[in-house]
Amino acid sequence: MSAALDIQGLTTRFDTRGGTVTAVDDVSFSVDRGRIMGLVGESGSGKSVTGFSILGLIDEPGRVTDGRVIVEETDLRSLSPDHLRSMRGRKVSMVFQDPMMTLNPVLRIGDQMAMAVRVHEPMSKAKALERARDALGTVGIPSPEERLAAYPHQLSGGMRQRVAIATALLHRPAVIIADEPTTALDVSIQGQILAEVRRLADETHTAIVWITHDLAVVSSLADDICVMYAGKIVERGTAEEVIGQPRHPYTRGLLDSVPGQHAPGTHLPQIPGSTPQLSHLPSGCPFRNRCPRATQLCASAPPLARFGDHTALCHHPLETT
């Protein structure tokens, strides 16, 4: 079975005053139908830009300069702008971080969703509203009929995020990019949404790219994990492999900084230093200034260390933990 989403060598650059910056650097991964891929990284690691690059929604001064984005055997980057637009929402859709902002405050939920239905499938408004109502039902919204007439401000954050997810699901897309959709929510709501997303992936066979900085979230949700650092994927593997036996020192550092697995009262280990500016990356491995295992060797570009399908972009991968 071919992958629902197959990304090869995706590269996105931004022209800034200080020169051209590579926000997404030769990123490759693929997601099969019904699988959830966790794309993990700190702020500024390029994970959201990767999401927007997949949909072809990078605005000036940025541009996708290289790579292929194959959704169900169609390379989105080879399409005309209008053809690409017709793929958005229908084959690939996206959910954003802040549910307070993603819905238009002055339009009714039903009107917004009906618009999204009818842009790809011309039908009467009544039919489109029926479709919207059914979609709201699938994501576990009680009395969906009434919600159609509501305005976004009349719903809670969790409900709004469900509406956004329902909107993304309207055309049963092959792929959904979810950009930190639970970060802004309460922990209890977050749990409900995660369970809902897992169920949807299993039932509708949608491939999901779950962008997050929260390793705890992906470890319980994702099938596979990619760890991004400074625009590059530094480690990739199944969730068990990456969480259970991280190979890249950066992933190790991230895992160690998750609170909860340490004795109360002890200091939480941190990764020293801060995320580097993309315009001032060190040569070779971008993580070497902060890495406890760095040597002279790290000034040259790191090789891809393979452990079966589990890979790490590192000169000195962790052999055992």
* Residues found near another protein in the complex (CB under 8 A): 55, 57, 60, 85-90, 93-94, 96, 98, 101-107, 115-116, 119-120, 151, 153, 164, 167-168, 170
Q: Cβ closer to another protein: 151 or 307?
A: 151
* Min separation Cβ 130 and another protein, Å: 18
Question: What's the full length of the chain, in residues?
Answer: 321
- What beta strand segments (E) does 159-269 contain? 175-179, 207-212, 224-229, 232-238
Q: Cβ closer to another protein: 97 or 219?
A: 97
Q: Cβ closer to another protein: 85 or 293?
A: 85
Assigned token pair, 196: 């809902």
Q: Cβ closer to another protein: 26 or 98?
A: 98
Alpha-carbon distance 146 to 156, whole Å?
15
* Min separation Cβ 7 and another protein, Å: 17
C-alpha torsion sign, points 182, 188, 189, 194: positive
At position 138, the amino acid (one-letter code) is: T
* Min separation Cβ 238 and another protein, Å: 28
Alpha-carbon distance 18 to 282, whole Å?
16
Residue 201 and residue 5 in contact, taking contact as beta carbons nearer than 8 Å = no
Q: Cβ closer to another protein: 131 or 310?
A: 131
* Phi, psi at 152, each rounded to 5°: -55, -40
Chain centroid to CA 207: 11
Helices 109-118 and 157-169 cross at an angle (nearest 10°) of 20
* Min separation Cβ 212 and another protein, Å: 17
* Min separation Cβ 161 and another protein, Å: 12
User: Which residues have a Cβ under 8 Å from the Cβ of 230 and sit 6 or more positions away?
Assistant: 25, 45, 46, 275, 276, 278, 281, 286, 287
Q: Cβ closer to another protein: 71 or 234?
A: 71
* Min separation Cβ 84 and another protein, Å: 9
Assigned token pair, 65: 């300069």
Q: Cβ closer to another protein: 55 or 230?
A: 55
* Min separation Cβ 250 and another protein, Å: 29
